[in-house]
Structure 1
Amino acid sequence: MRSPGTRMWRVALCCVLMETFVHIARGLNICTSGSATSCEECLLIHPSCAWCAQEDFGKGWTVTSRCDFSQNLQKRGCEARFIEYPTSSMSILQNTPLSSKGSGSAQYDVTQIMPQRVSLSLRPGGQTWFGLQVRQVEDYPVDIYYLMDLSLSMKDDLDTIRNLGTKLAYEMGKLTSNFRLGFGSFVDKNMSPFSYTAPKYQENPCSGYKLFPNCVPTFGFRHILSLTDKVDRFNEEVQKQMVSRNRDAPEGGFDAILQAAVCKEEIGWRKEAYHLLVFATDDVPHLALDGRLGGLVQPHDGQCHLNDKNEYSASTTMDYPSLALLGEKLAENNIFLIFAVTKRLYVIYKNFTALIPGTTVEILDQDSKNVIQLIIAAYNNIRSKVELTVWDHPEDISLSFTATCQDGKPLPGLMKCADLKIGDTVSFNVSVEARSCPPRGTDQSFTIKPVGFKDRLEVTVDYQCDCGCSRKAQLNSRICSSIGTYNCGTCLCEPGYLGAHCECQEGEVSSMYLSACREAEGKQVCSGRGECSCNQCLCYESEFGKIYGSFCECDDFSCPRHKGILCSGHGECHCGECKCHAGYIGDNCDCSTETSSCISDDGQMCSGRGSCVCGRCQCIEPGAFGDTCEKCPTCPDACGTKRDCIECRLFKSGHLADNQTCQRLCKDEIITVETLKTDEPGAVLCLYKTDDDCVMKFTYLEHASGQSVLTALKEPECGGGPDAMMVLLAVVGSILLVGVALLAAWKLVITVHDRREFARFQSARSRARYEMASNPLYKQPVSTHFVETDFNMYGRSYNGGVH
């Protein structure tokens, strides 16, 4: 199985070969076009160029440049042993394996970064790669220094934390078996206009203040308890403290932070421990230059100034420290700063975190009741991410990072990984390129260090700027007519002499030499930018730059520009073509290959809605905009994405709250209202059902300024929950009612039918013609019929009948 380093070596080699082939395909030989006159000049042209130091090289060939691609030199008869072709390389000097546990092992053997020492051999323009791994080990010792604002407004907070030590030690004991706690306090500079300076306020600045008539004198910073594992001492010292009072709203907290960071021995920071500095306040801090209001013009020197009473002695002699100085000293001493501030200050201190690496912000309750949960949350947040920083970065070296986090997906341009678990291992690949050669004898090195870690990777750099053949240079060599130095196959002639072997003197011109000074028949001698002397061109000087080449055909100023800057300031001009520095491409080197600016807060490239072109996101998804295409109110998943932020910010629920990433991913302003207006132009209405079957409504609006605003109901809309007994009774009652209704209908139908039949019977009975005593069905056995007759008897007529 091939190692990552082997794969990266192959990638680097392929990159160089591909670039060489591109030049060949264009018909441009960047090596010969530079017309280098020495081996060292050849090496600086391009990392694919080689130099032939063979004495008789070039005989019988039209092209005699000793600087060319290595394969071309060999084809033209240069033996491999005479070819100078140094390449960039990397070697690992120390590679101690990563540790898996902290306090349970020998503490001074804990290793969280691998390798620890690397040596690079760099040829200008050439790239080399190396990989490093970082792991946050389990059960690592923790030092927490609690730095508290003791101005008058923090009195209720002081009462709350009087038993903080015991509770905090109990909670931290679940995370580490080696925990220490310390305490310090601050107010502000005891001078006008920051504090009350009248004599009556010197001993008691609260004099005349009815609510709290007794206070201690104002002080800048006071170190009270060094880091200790005896947490009862913390409780004892806190219970002794009293608040003080200053005049203006801002506090002198940055003075205190700097002293807590640089006074390592007094505070008791351990080398083998995580250093957490908890800064608790309810107001904004004074910044650098604020001290000039009190006449303090001396910038802070970044040193420890604690007197024998453990109080900050330079409070009234030096200005407040700058953010840059704070960040430098915190990083230098491996300290994670936790801003524990009230909700109204969250945005202000959040902006500070962008300028101070390794800093987090947590929202503190008005009376500090949630301080323990806050510290635990901040600790988990700190240990869930790894971010690299580079120290003492040489200006002529270009670095490019690619992070591989837990999902195994390479993220070019990224120097950090988030959402990690303790014990996870992340990897980074680092590409290194030297843009130029430093002065001879200059040692170069730099350090790669995870923020807040004591562990670091030391990188030493050796430059391949000299040729091996230069060590065999011959002064006044016979090859150079005894008037020049023979070096790497060429003669460096004494002033006034020219020619391949110093055989000519300056000023000698003849027609036989002129043809050798034309690039082609019909072209100008020396391209019109030089004069021919002893069969070679002497190029004119130009106020714009250098003119060079065998026929003065090249210069270092006729390259494409961007906004008036040659090669955009990100490359070197070589014979009309920009040779871009690492990390830039394009004809004028204006296109950055860096993608870190395109990575959104969720770790996706352009939020998954676009592509990164020249270091900027080009949004593809309709309706998407923003620096990383993160804003898209019409995208199908906009409501779903903002729902997670509503849940974690307003209700401390959802998967973002569990992963401690709410503050990182959810930066939109959230406004809570009693009644939600849905008719605002451009606002998108979003609804979702909560776990308790309530309906949460909010609107999502993107302003023209790019600011996103979420307007949400304070509480979800919930209907009254149904009574199970009432529902049961209603169902049973409904069934009974339907049954009774069906029976009544059936009874009605039967009754109507019977009545109709009875009426029909009565009608038939009334029409009957017989007596009730006789049987209408009985018939007599003898029937009688009356027959009428008409006859004449004795002259008379009779009518009669026969029965």
Structure 2
Amino acid sequence: IFSGLNMCMSGSATSCEECLLIHPSCAWCAQQDFGKGRTLTFRCDFSQNLQKRGCLTQHIEYPTSSVSVLQNNPLSSKGSGSTLYNVVQMAPQQISLSLRPGDQTWFGLQVRQVEDYPVDLYYLMDLSLSMKDDLDTIRNLGTKLAEEMGKLTSNFRLGFGSFVDKNISPFSYTSPKYQENPCKGYKPFPSCAPSFGFRNILSLTDEVDRFNQEVQKQIVSRNRDAPEGGFDAILQAAVCKNEIGWRKEAYHLLVFATDDVPHLALDGRLGGLVQPHDGLCHLNDQNEYSASAQMDYPSLALLGEKLAENNIFLIFAVTKNLYIIYKNFTALIPGTTVEILDQDSKNVIQLIVAAYNNIRSKVELTVWDQPEDISLSVTATCQDGQPLPGLRKCADLKIGDTVSFNVSVDARSCPTRGADHSFTIKPVGFKDRLEVTVNYQCDCGCSRTAKTNSSICSSIGTYNCGTCHCEPGYLGAHCECQEGEAGSMYLSACREAEGKQICSGRGECSCNQCLCYESEFGKIYGSFCECDDFSCARHKGILCSGHGECHCGECKCHAGFIGDNCNCSIDTSTCVADDGQMCSGRGNCVCGRCQCTEPGAFGDTCEKCPTCPDACGTKRECIECRLFDLGRLADNQTCQRLCKDEIITVETLETNDPSAVLCVYKADNDCVMKFTYSEHFSGRSILTALKEPDCGGGPDALTVLPVVVGSILLVGLVLLAVWKLVITIHDRREFAQFQSARSRARYEMASNPLYKQPVTTHSVETDFDMFGKSYNGGVH
């Protein structure tokens, strides 16, 4: 029924309640006589399995998750008129969930922002010295703002409050001379009002003229450091509902106008304020924040919680240089927007109208008091109709549009007794909410009829949901055995041998005998639960190959099969080839299948072997009998039975198949027959043969001999001519060289090669006397 491991039958569940916690698909059988004999029946299983094993439907405990709608008033379409208190913008309003741990369920809800819904707007202004020009700008803000908001709603109220900072050091000037006038000695503005934390100047009213009058009375103040105490003021404006005058049936807009950054939680330690903010209202009779000098500034988390709790949309109206800082705050405080305010607040009306339209164009869900053991997953379906998993918000809406949300709920565990089992879902800034009550399906109905000292349990146990829970000291399915001195004897009787597990780890020892567990895989049996019918060897995932039965871990094979997993057939008929030989004489028959031993052989009976030495001879007989009706096979009329190969006849034998084997043989008439043989692993054998044998005559010897002799003589003459030509060229070159040497020798014989002309000649003058003798020597 269910594939894979059955986690319900793991054996870990000993009671109905434990079974339900294993998995949401598990069921428990509380039937008294469910499971008999020496098998320990698992009462925890899939519901279908329990019915299959004989458990009646009325005794099956299988709770499921469900949703019940308790209150579902229809959505309203308009917010004005006498039916204001009955305006519904969220449906349903109350539901009840029945959750089984791990079993996911879901419910849907719808939200619609109705037209002409009342609006309460509280203008919270920074009155530090740098906001003096802004104060001058908004002195007539009430009248103009009422005119613009009147275009959006017919029911509008306006209030006004202001803040500076904590009147303690180092945040403000605390010297006695500055108590009445912090601007004393400050030349640009020599006079201003004393510092204060927060002051509710005008509670929400529809008399806009009063707003103008109160604003005109205001005077700026001066603090010491740059950050302001605006978060103190926001928290007081949110939690002091009666003093501010917030109406339950109205949109609550809180406009926060400033030109500087705020002080955050822990900044108060600079002034010695270590007490965290308690989140409560602390306005005195003068409508001023009385705990400014006693508690630290509120944290962002506390601020977001109180704004959401009181359905207040916070609008940060800040100067351009602070936009990024306050934009980061909006990510931490749901239902908050930020707009850029001009230096002198000239655009404040356009800013408020734009922020209001932005708020009305989106719906965002928040969850309050969600139990820790419950997980929620929200899928939004906005105007385009496309489901957006994991998204809790829809934007770009028009007033009157309806959006849907699908909420999946999953209980991870059963809660502790007495824990709060409810939570709330509400859109940010709406008074509407959905109250969700949770009932956990952790208990079984059969437990309500449990009987103590039941006769079924030998009067010494409690009978609950089909099983006995024995008193201490007693054992057995019906508490029929007693522990004590005999306990060890009972356990030893349930061991197959010393040191082995009790009941082989697959059963329980009850009163001197093993009760074997049930298994989804098969039957567990034996005196010590040592046997089963599913732990035998398998072949291709099939127990005993499907040719045997599993008995106590060993395959008992059917007739005709052997082996550990009965996969080996002793029948050899499947190994006989068409020619009558076992595996075609090229292999052995093992387990009913041929194992080919001849290299290159394959096929069910090793009948295919293109490279075997006798392949051409075998296929030759098929060629002769199929094409020419000749040969041994034609005589025996067995050609069609043994020769099933495909034969293709061609005029000229050519092949591009590298695996094809060329066969050539000489026919009886001295003609030559050629064919190719190729085997394909797909099972096809192809023979490609010539249509007719090649019977062309041989060459004439008388013609061939003269041609051969003439060719030899011609080649010899050519070689002699080439040799003669080479010798002649060589001799001519040698004779030319001799003639040249002879001419040079004749020319050189005209002169004595031993005689050398003198290099220089000198003349010597000689004088003779009268006797003809020379005094100076002779001539050389």
Tell whether 2:302 aligns with 1:316. Answer: no
Aligned mates of 1:424, 1:166 — CA distance in 2: 31
Alignment of 1:229-308 (within 5 A): 229-308=206-285
1:525: Cα distance to partner?
Answer: 3.7
The change in CA–CA distance for 1:307 and 1:443 in structure 2 (over 3 A counts) is closer
Aligned mates of 1:34, 1:305 — CA distance in 2: 61
Alignment of 1:275-424 (within 5 A): 275-424=252-401
Size of the aligned set, in residue pairs, is 516
Tell whether 2:128 aligns with 1:151. Answer: yes
| Residue-by-residue CA offset, 1:127-169 (whole Å, 9 max, x unaligned) | 2111000001111000000000000000011111111111111
When structure 1 is superposed on structure 2, of 242-251 and 196-205 the one drifting more is 196-205
The change in CA–CA distance for 1:212 and 1:489 in structure 2 (over 3 A counts) is same
1:528: Cα distance to partner?
Answer: 7.1
Aligned mates of 1:123, 1:531 — CA distance in 2: 30
Aligned mates of 1:535, 1:414 — CA distance in 2: 62
The change in CA–CA distance for 1:531 and 1:464 in structure 2 (over 3 A counts) is closer
Equivalent residues of 1:506, 1:534 under 8 A apart: no
Tell whether 2:178 aligns with 1:201. Answer: yes
| Residue-by-residue CA offset, 1:631-657 (whole Å, 9 max, x unaligned) | xxxxxxxxxxxxxxxxxxxxxxxxxxx
Letter in 1 for 2:424: T
- State which of 64, 79, 83 in structure 2 corresponds to 1:106: 83
Aligned mates of 1:105, 1:276 — CA distance in 2: 23
Aligned mates of 1:59, 1:441 — CA distance in 2: 40
Aligned mates of 2:161, 2:217 — CA distance in 1: 12
Tell whether 2:462 aligns with 1:485. Answer: yes
Local SS of the residue matching 1:256: helix
The change in CA–CA distance for 1:254 and 1:95 in structure 2 (over 3 A counts) is same
1:126: Cα distance to partner?
Answer: 1.1
Counterpart residue number, 1:721: none
The change in CA–CA distance for 1:148 and 1:515 in structure 2 (over 3 A counts) is farther
The change in CA–CA distance for 1:38 and 1:382 in structure 2 (over 3 A counts) is same
Counterpart residue number, 1:543: none
Counterpart residue number, 1:75: 52
- State which of 92, 98, 108 in structure 2 corresponds to 1:115: 92
The change in CA–CA distance for 1:431 and 1:514 in structure 2 (over 3 A counts) is farther
Equivalent residues of 1:385, 1:416 under 8 A apart: yes
Percent identity of paired positions between Structure 1 and Structure 2 = 86
Letter in 2 for 1:376: V
Aligned mates of 1:174, 1:364 — CA distance in 2: 22
Alignment of 1:696-735 (within 5 A): none
- State which of 31, 39, 61 in structure 2 corresponds to 1:84: 61
Letter in 2 for 1:25: S
Local SS of the residue matching 2:202: strand
Aligned mates of 2:274, 2:507 — CA distance in 1: 58
Aligned mates of 1:535, 1:94 — CA distance in 2: 60
Letter in 2 for 1:494: E
1:199: Cα distance to partner?
Answer: 1.2
Aligned mates of 1:236, 1:480 — CA distance in 2: 87
Counterpart residue number, 2:3: 25
Equivalent residues of 2:40, 2:507 under 8 A apart: no
The change in CA–CA distance for 1:263 and 1:34 in structure 2 (over 3 A counts) is farther
Aligned mates of 2:68, 2:257 — CA distance in 1: 46
Local SS of the residue matching 1:91: strand
Tell whether 2:168 aligns with 1:191. Answer: yes
Aligned-residue CA RMSD (Å)? 2.5
Counterpart residue number, 1:494: 471
The change in CA–CA distance for 1:303 and 1:536 in structure 2 (over 3 A counts) is farther
Counterpart residue number, 2:669: none
1:433: Cα distance to partner?
Answer: 1.2
Aligned mates of 1:510, 1:289 — CA distance in 2: 68
1:431: Cα distance to partner?
Answer: 0.8
1:104: Cα distance to partner?
Answer: 3.5
Letter in 1 for 2:422: S
Aligned mates of 1:237, 1:526 — CA distance in 2: 91
The change in CA–CA distance for 1:77 and 1:510 in structure 2 (over 3 A counts) is farther
1:103: Cα distance to partner?
Answer: 1.4
Counterpart residue number, 2:73: 96
| Residue-by-residue CA offset, 1:583-606 (whole Å, 9 max, x unaligned) | xxxxxxxxxxxxxxxxxxxxxxxx
Aligned mates of 2:493, 2:23 — CA distance in 1: 30
Letter in 1 for 2:481: C
Counterpart residue number, 1:737: none
Local SS of the residue matching 2:159: strand
Which runs of 5 or more residues in structure 2 are unaligned? Answer: 516-527, 530-780
Equivalent residues of 1:517, 1:532 under 8 A apart: no
Equivalent residues of 1:506, 1:533 under 8 A apart: no
Alignment of 1:454-533 (within 5 A): 454-506=431-483, 508=486, 524-525=501-502
Counterpart residue number, 1:49: 26
Equivalent residues of 2:78, 2:115 under 8 A apart: yes
Aligned mates of 2:341, 2:10 — CA distance in 1: 66
The change in CA–CA distance for 1:116 and 1:527 in structure 2 (over 3 A counts) is farther
Letter in 2 for 1:349: Y
Aligned mates of 1:252, 1:351 — CA distance in 2: 18
The change in CA–CA distance for 1:510 and 1:495 in structure 2 (over 3 A counts) is closer
Letter in 2 for 1:196: Y
When structure 1 is superposed on structure 2, of 447-456 and 39-48 the one drifting more is 39-48
The change in CA–CA distance for 1:194 and 1:476 in structure 2 (over 3 A counts) is same
Aligned mates of 1:490, 1:326 — CA distance in 2: 56
The change in CA–CA distance for 1:336 and 1:477 in structure 2 (over 3 A counts) is same
| Residue-by-residue CA offset, 1:530-589 (whole Å, 9 max, x unaligned) | 995646999xxxxxxxxxxxx99xxxxxxxxxxxxxxxxxxxxxxxxxxxxxxxxxxxxx
1:504: Cα distance to partner?
Answer: 2.1
Alignment of 1:510-659 (within 5 A): 524-525=501-502, 534=511
Aligned mates of 2:54, 2:298 — CA distance in 1: 66
Local SS of the residue matching 1:25: coil
Tell whether 2:147 aligns with 1:170. Answer: yes
Which runs of 5 or more residues in structure 1 are unaligned? Answer: 1-20, 539-550, 553-803
1:478: Cα distance to partner?
Answer: 1.3
Local SS of the residue matching 1:170: helix
| Residue-by-residue CA offset, 1:771-793 (whole Å, 9 max, x unaligned) | xxxxxxxxxxxxxxxxxxxxxxx
TM-score by length of 2: 0.64
Equivalent residues of 1:514, 1:532 under 8 A apart: no
Tell whether 2:108 aligns with 1:134. Answer: no
1:297: Cα distance to partner?
Answer: 1.0
Equivalent residues of 2:126, 2:164 under 8 A apart: yes
1:443: Cα distance to partner?
Answer: 4.5
1:464: Cα distance to partner?
Answer: 1.1
Letter in 1 for 2:216: Q
The change in CA–CA distance for 1:526 and 1:406 in structure 2 (over 3 A counts) is farther
1:63: Cα distance to partner?
Answer: 5.8
1:61: Cα distance to partner?
Answer: 8.3
Letter in 2 for 1:299: P
Equivalent residues of 1:104, 1:139 under 8 A apart: no
1:526: Cα distance to partner?
Answer: 6.7
Equivalent residues of 1:148, 1:184 under 8 A apart: yes
Letter in 2 for 1:463: Y
Aligned mates of 1:195, 1:470 — CA distance in 2: 69
Letter in 1 for 2:370: H
Equivalent residues of 1:34, 1:45 under 8 A apart: no
The change in CA–CA distance for 1:517 and 1:535 in structure 2 (over 3 A counts) is farther
Letter in 2 for 1:30: M
Counterpart residue number, 1:577: none
